[in-house]
């Protein structure tokens, strides 16, 4: 999916040309009021042409006007079809990954039956082994496996999916590479993540954004005003003794109404979503892309977003008088049966520092962690070893009648907590408290630089975590965020977003866990990691297939680029009308009102040449601006006032000057070849 060679594929242009004709269907055209008016004008001028042919009147001028008006509609349809075509090419790639997969459904008695994936329903459990394709979206409820998600993300590197935690969601159409997992199906038939992606990238569910709707209303209003203006020109001409041809009035109307931006508006929106898809971000609505351009507060979940997600052992801290080698040996032995990432990291750190568990007795019994004891460890020959939360381990030591050494332990525990780490106390049933293992959240590389870039955009960053305030403060300082919310429960995250929105702020949030779902649903832009839980993926309005939370920087840039592009082309389109006014109005009335000759600044050859040149320019400018609509105006971090000045200078002034040059050149060519 990451490769987009289809952008320049000739077949894409051929298909877009075919689709441009299909979009002449009035039921499709009526969605764009301005282009619908142009299409009605096409029908009128075409009827006028055939009427003149039948009566033997001169039909050449009306025929040329009719032809170029049809081109105007077709070029606008082509722009939209080309933007949609890139999404459809993506959908074809995805559709090839969707097959009627065989599923091994687990029955209540423990037996397995083979069924079609289309027969699966929410709540079913399926067994997926190495080499099998996951038949449906769901959650891993048993086991751990490496999964190839290249069909979805385009990345060849496998990812780990395991039961429990925030990496349990799996997607139908991906392949298990190793081991065996049991998946609880969460999707309804025909509504899988892959189905939703196909529908979205095809543009079938692309809804107009509020900004786009408002702009459509403005364009429709301008069209209505110009229609009234043009209608009044007929009696005005008769008053001055000029019988203005209705074909000329239609041509004038099409040139004055904002056809350029109307023809490109849909392409701009679709292209914005496509640019996100090129960066492996699936936007579930056009509204989300637009909102991203106006975001001024960014909330990020700490675990798995700012940090790597698992606490890793970083140091062994023995109590005074305790041999560090004995303490490390006890810590590693207590963790030997702990298969959590934290437990494995303790053993790995011990191995790095020279601790060996080869001589450990074979009769060691592992004691798993429980929510009640908040400890884990082992029972070895004549000795029990435990590691866990400070209070729990001290209570265990006290129950054995051993000295707790609270003050000395506090001197080790407090600095660890202040630095943002998690202290695990290690104790022995024969030797008492031995020391502290320091676990530390590892901040992802390059986070500080990325947050500096976000800050340069005028966006405030807030880290959200369930950790205590000391830990949160240390991680926030290391990562470089502006603020943090510690000891946050799901309702706290939600309340923070509501408070910010009441202040008139637009809020983006990045998260991956079930506890993030309410906040993701409420935020203006909810970016969900593809590794996240099913609940999180359902709640957000954007899914990052690469699971890189800092992708929000690019998302904001693309959102701003979409808004700037729309503003630039709207400015250009409206400025165009000024030049076309100077081309056509003098041509209509100069014979009866010679004083209007002062407005004929382009000195066009004849009235008919002036009108035809303006109509041709009006059609060609749409096709010339398609690359800009699809690529977007380049975004650079700067103030709104600076953006407005740039728009007016480049696209406003350019929109006035370009038609003067273009219409004059077309007039010269028309006159040279004798078209009129």
**Does 427 score more than 90 pLDDT?**
yes
Q: Which of 50-59, 205-214, 329-338, 436-445 has the lowest mean pLDDT?
A: 205-214
Residue scoring higher pLDDT (106 or 596): 106
DSSP-derived pairing of the beta strands 297-301 and 460-464:
parallel
Q: Which of 314, 338, 346, 306 is nearest to 415 (CA)?
A: 314
pLDDT of 471 above 60: yes
Examine the pLDDT at 5 and tell me if it is beyond 50.
Answer: no
Q: Report the distance separating Cα 224 and Cα 210, nearest Å.
A: 21
Q: What is the pLDDT of residues 225-243, one digit of tens each?
A: 988 988 888 888 788 777 8
For range 60-77, the mean pLDDT: 92
State the chain's mean pLDDT as an integer.
Answer: 82
292 pLDDT more than 80:
yes
Number of H helices and E strands in the chain, helices first, is: 23, 22
Place of tokens 């190839």: 148
What's the rounded mean pLDDT across residues 189-195?
64
Query: Is pLDDT above 80 for 195?
Result: no
- Choose the weakest-confidence range: 124-128, 150-154, 496-500: 150-154
Superfamily name and number for 310-442: Calcium-transporting ATPase, cytoplasmic domain N (3.40.1110.10)
How does pLDDT run across 16-57, given as a tens digit for each residue? 889 899 999 998 888 888 899 999 999 999 999 999 898 888
What tokens does 151 get? Answer: 């069909």
Q: What SS3 class is residue 49?
A: helix
Q: How far is CA 551 from CA 20, 211, 292, 461, in A?
A: 35, 24, 12, 14
Answer whether residue 166 shows pLDDT above 70.
Answer: no
* 3-class DSSP state of 31: coil
Reduced to 3 states, what is the DSSP secondary structure of residue 297? strand
CA distance 622 to 69: 12
Please report the pLDDT score of residue 309 as a whole number. 63
The answer to which of 296-305, 560-569, 604-613 has the lowest mean pLDDT is 296-305
Instruction: Give the span between the Cα atoms of 46 and 150, in whole angstroms.
Output: 52
Q: Could you tell me which of 165, 161, 183, 203 has the C-alpha nearest to residue 28?
A: 203
Q: How far is the first Cα of the chain from the last one, in angstroms, to the nearest whole number?
A: 51
Question: Binding site, residues?
Answer: 338, 342, 369-376, 387, 512, 516
Query: Does the domain at residues 102-200 carry the CATH identifier 2.70.150.10?
Result: yes
Give the CA distances from residue 30 to residues 36, 45, 114, 220, in Å, rounded to whole numbers and listed in that order: 5, 19, 49, 12
Confidence of residue 175 (pLDDT cuts 50, 70, 90): confident
Q: Can you give the pLDDT at residue 397? A: 92
Question: Which residue carries 């959200």 as its tokens?
Answer: 464
Whether residue 134 contacts residue 175, with contact meaning beta carbons closer than 8 Å, is answered with yes
Q: Is residue 106 a contact partner of residue 183, using CB atoms and an 8 Å limit?
A: no
> What's the CA gap between 482 and 614, in Å, rounded?
54
Q: Mean pLDDT throughout 494-501?
A: 90
**What pLDDT shows up at residue 535?**
67
Q: What is the pLDDT of residue 31?
A: 84
Nearest 5 degrees, angle CA 472-CA 477-CA 481? 90
More reliable by pLDDT, 172 or 479: 479
pLDDT of residue 179: 82
Structure confidence at residue 4 (pLDDT):
42
Most confident of 26-30, 190-194, 211-215, 534-538: 26-30
User: What 3-state DSSP class applies to 131?
Assistant: coil
Topology (CATH level 3) of domain 285-306+444-545: Rossmann fold (3.40.50)
Task: Return the higher-pLDDT residue of 200 and 199.
Answer: 199
**pLDDT tens-place string over residues 298-331:** 888 776 667 776 678 889 999 999 999 999 999 9
The binding site for ATP consists of 338, 342, 369-376, 387
Is the predicted pLDDT of residue 426 greater than 90, yes or no? Answer: yes
Cβ neighbours for 20, distance < 8 A, ≥ 6 positions apart: 74, 75, 77, 78, 81
More confident residue, 344 or 155: 344
Per-residue three-class SS string for 163-225: CCCCCCEECCCCEECCCEEEEEECCCCCCCHHHHHHHHHCCCCCCCCHHHHHHHHHHHHHHHH
Annotated binding site for Mg(2+): 512, 516
Confidence of residue 94 (pLDDT cuts 50, 70, 90): low
pLDDT at residue 528 tops 70: yes
Higher pLDDT, 362 or 621: 621
Give the residue numbers marked as catalytic: 301
Q: Residues 502-523: what's their mean pLDDT?
A: 82
74 vs 637: which has the higher pLDDT: 74
Highest mean pLDDT among 277-281, 348-352, 462-466, 548-552 belongs to: 348-352
- Asked if pLDDT for residue 640 goes beyond 80, the answer is no
Query: Domain coordinates of the chain in residue numbers?
Result: 9-89+202-276+572-673, 102-200, 285-306+444-545, 310-442
């Amino acid at each position: 999916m990451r490769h987009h060679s289809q952008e320049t594929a000739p077949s894409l242009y051929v298909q877009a040309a075919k689709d441009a004709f299909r979009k002449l269907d009035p039921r499709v055209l009526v969605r764009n009021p301005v282009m619908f008016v142009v299409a009605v004008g096409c029908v009128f001028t075409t009827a006028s042409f055939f009427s003149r042919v039948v009566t033997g009147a001169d039909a050449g001028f009306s025929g040329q006007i009719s032809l170029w008006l049809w081109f105007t509609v077709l070029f606008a349809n082509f722009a939209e079809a080309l933007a949609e075509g890139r999404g459809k090419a993506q959908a074809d790639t995805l559709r090839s990954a969707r097959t009627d997969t065989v599923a091994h459904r687990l029955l209540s008695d423990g037996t397995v039956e083979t069924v079609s994936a289309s027969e699966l329903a929410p709540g079913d459990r399926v067994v997926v082994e190495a080499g099998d394709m996951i038949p449906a979206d769901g959650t891993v409820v048993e086991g751990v496996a490496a999964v190839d998600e290249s069909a979805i993300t385009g990345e060849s590197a496998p990812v780990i999916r395991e039961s429990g935690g925030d990496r349990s969601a799996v997607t139908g159409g991906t392949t298990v590479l190793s081991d065996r997992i049991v998946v609880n199906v969460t999707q309804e038939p025909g509504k899988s993540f892959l189905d939703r992606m196909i529908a979205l990238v095809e543009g079938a569910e692309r809804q107009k954004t509020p900004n786009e709707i408002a702009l459509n209303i403005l364009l429709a209003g301008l069209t209505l005003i110009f229609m009234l203006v043009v209608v009044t020109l007929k009696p005005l001409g008769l008053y001055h003794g000029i019988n203005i041809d209705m074909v000329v009035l239609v041509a004038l109307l099409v040139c004055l109404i904002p056809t350029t931006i109307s023809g490109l508006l849909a392409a701009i929106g679709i292209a914005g979503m496509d640019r996100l898809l090129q960066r492996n971000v699936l936007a579930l609505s056009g509204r989300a892309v637009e909102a991203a351009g106006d975001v001024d507060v960014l909330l990020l979940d700490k675990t798995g977003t700012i940090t790597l997600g698992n606490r890793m052992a970083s140091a062994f801290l023995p109590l005074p008088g305790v041999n560090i080698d004995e303490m490390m040996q006890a810590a590693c032995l207590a963790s030997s049966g702990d298969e959590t990432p934290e437990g494995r990291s303790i053993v790995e750190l011990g191995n790095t520092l020279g601790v060996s568990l080869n001589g450990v007795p074979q009769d060691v019994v592992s004691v798993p962690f429980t929510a009640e004891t908040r400890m884990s460890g082992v029972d070895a020959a004549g000795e029990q070893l435990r590691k866990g939360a400070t209070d729990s381990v001290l209570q265990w030591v006290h129950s054995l009648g051993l000295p707790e050494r609270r003050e000395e332990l506090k001197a080790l525990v407090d600095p660890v907590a202040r630095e943002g780490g998690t202290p695990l106390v290690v104790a022995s049933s024969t030797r008492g408290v031995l020391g502290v293992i320091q676990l530390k959240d590892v901040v992802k590389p390059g986070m500080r630089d990325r947050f500096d870039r976000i800050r340069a955009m005028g966006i405030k960053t807030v880290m959200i975590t369930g950790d205590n305030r000391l830990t949160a403060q240390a991680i926030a300082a290391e990562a470089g965020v502006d603020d943090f919310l510690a000891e946050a429960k799901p309702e706290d995250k939600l309340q923070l977003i509501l408070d910010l929105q009441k202040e008139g702020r637009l809020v983006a949030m990045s998260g991956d866990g079930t506890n993030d779902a309410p906040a993701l649903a409420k935020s203006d832009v909810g970016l969900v990691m593809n590794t996240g839980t099913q609940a999180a993926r359902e709640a957000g309005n954007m899914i990052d297939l690469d699971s890189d939370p800092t992708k929000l920087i690019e998302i904001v840039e693309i959102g701003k680029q979409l808004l700037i592009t729309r503003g630039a082309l709207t400015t250009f389109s409206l400025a165009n009308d000024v030049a076309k006014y100077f081309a056509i109005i003098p041509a209509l009335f100069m014979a009866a009102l010679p004083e209007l000759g002062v407005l004929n600044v382009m000195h066009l050859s004849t009235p008919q040449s002036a009108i035809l040149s303006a109509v041709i320019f009006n059609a060609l400018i749409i096709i010339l601006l398609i690359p800009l609509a699809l690529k977007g105006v380049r975004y650079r971090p700067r103030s709104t006032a600076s953006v407005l000045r740039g728009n007016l200078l480049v696209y406003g002034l350019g929109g006035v000057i370009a038609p003067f040059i273009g219409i004059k050149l077309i007039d010269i060519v028309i006159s040279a070849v004798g078209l009129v």
